[in-house]
Amino acid sequence: MAKNLFKNILKSIAAYFIRGLLIIAPIAITFALIKWALEFLDKILPMSIPGLGIIIMLFAITITGYLGTKLFSKPLFEWFEGLLGKTPGIKFIYSSIKDMLEAFVGEKKRFKEPVLVKMNESGLMKIGFITSKDLFQFLNEKAEEHYGVYFPHSYNFSGNHFIVNKKNIIPLKANSTDVMKYVVSGGVTGLN
């Protein structure tokens, strides 16, 4: 009897410890990551006042965006992109990063059509985003029957792109940002 009581007490203590860990760990890890990011960014422009380097950097990036939009406009930007486009190796890196950033936050957002895709006959389904509906450059005769769908990976900022038959695609009536958070979190973050 005393042995069972002792086991129950240990199980309760272990359960409370795990619950406490589930409460404290996400908060502690979030603050640690924020602190690390702020310290890292502050080291880029070292100043005697902590945080001043970050503020100056944010201000400089914002001013650069404003000047790039208002003063320098397209010709200078297109010239710079053309210069990068002619540099071997750099063209690939620059265009890949630019396209990925524009897909998430640019004016040409690509991940705005969330879909559910039937992956096999047993009912396995995967969440993805339609990225292209015009596939005539790849599929001549069957192009109108297929879409390009991007499937992001959970807990990562990578994914796979597949050509999917339209009959296997079910549009989702949900906010694309919420769907992306849901997929990237491995389904832990709920859809609102």
Q: pLDDT at position 105, please?
A: 59
At 192, is the pLDDT very low, low, confident or very high (cuts 50, 70, 90)?
Answer: low
Q: Is 119 or 92 the better-scoring residue by pLDDT? A: 119
Angle at 68 between CA 67 and CA 69, to 5 degrees: 90
Put simply, whether the predicted model's pTM sits higher than 0.75 gets the answer: no
Q: pLDDT at position 20, please?
A: 79
CB 149 within 8 A of CB 117: yes
What is the percent of the chain where pLDDT is above 70? 80
Average pLDDT over the chain, rounded to an integer? 77
Q: Is 185 or 59 the better-scoring residue by pLDDT? A: 59
Helix (H, G, I), strand (E, B) or coil at 152: strand
Q: pLDDT at position 143, please?
A: 66
pLDDT at 123 over 70: yes
What is the percent of the chain where pLDDT is above 90? 1
Strand-pairing partners, residue 114, are: 129
Strand 146-152 vs strand 159-165: parallel, antiparallel, or unpaired? antiparallel
**What strand order describes the sheet that includes 169-171?**
159-165, 146-152, 125-132, 114-118, 169-171
Pull the structure tokens for residue 49: 């006042």
Q: pLDDT at position 187, please?
A: 75
Place of tokens 């619950």: 19
Span 102-125, mean pLDDT?
A: 77
Measuring CA to CA, how many Å separate 190 from each of 23, 30, 133, 136?
18, 19, 28, 37
CB 169 within 8 A of CB 152: no
At 139, is the pLDDT very low, low, confident or very high (cuts 50, 70, 90)?
Answer: low
Best-predicted range by mean pLDDT (58-67, 120-129, 148-157): 120-129
Lowest mean pLDDT among 82-86, 122-126, 162-166: 82-86
Q: Is 111 or 132 the better-scoring residue by pLDDT? A: 132
Q: How far apart are CA 140 and CA 163, in angstroms?
A: 13
Length of the chain: 192
